[in-house]
Amino acid sequence: MSERLTVEELAALMKSGAGITVDPADMKNRPDSLFDDYGLDSLGLLGIVGLLENQRGRALPTDADRCKTPKEFLDLVNTSLMTGA
């Protein structure tokens, strides 16, 4: 697992944390599509945040579960991981 969260890792988290299968290539091609378009609701995203916090051993920003798109989520999470904030 790299320091930065990748689209592939996010897709795997969506599968394990919310039971939603997403093609990482599709998410890469449509980074501004809403999580709703993939069938991921706010509760599912909250589960992904929890899994990610457990995997990485650090808390994510409190608004991570309010992100609307994969790009927004990846940008926020990766900024947090890189700065340690």
Has residue 1 got a pLDDT over 50? no
**Residue 21 falls within a domain, yes or no?**
yes
Task: Count up the domains in the chain and report the number.
Answer: 1
pTM, whole model, 2 decimals? 0.90
**Residue 11 falls within a domain, yes or no?**
yes
Residues 6+ apart with CB under 8 A from 41: 35
Query: Cα(68)–Cα(85) distance, rounded to whole angstroms?
Result: 21
Domain that holds residue 54: 7-83
**Residue 1 falls within a domain, yes or no?**
no
pLDDT in tens, 20-47: 999 999 999 999 999 999 999 999 999 9
**Residue 41 falls within a domain, yes or no?**
yes
Q: What is the CATH number of the domain that holds 27?
A: 1.10.1200.10
**Residue 15 falls within a domain, yes or no?**
yes
pLDDT in tens, 59-77: 999 899 999 999 999 999 9
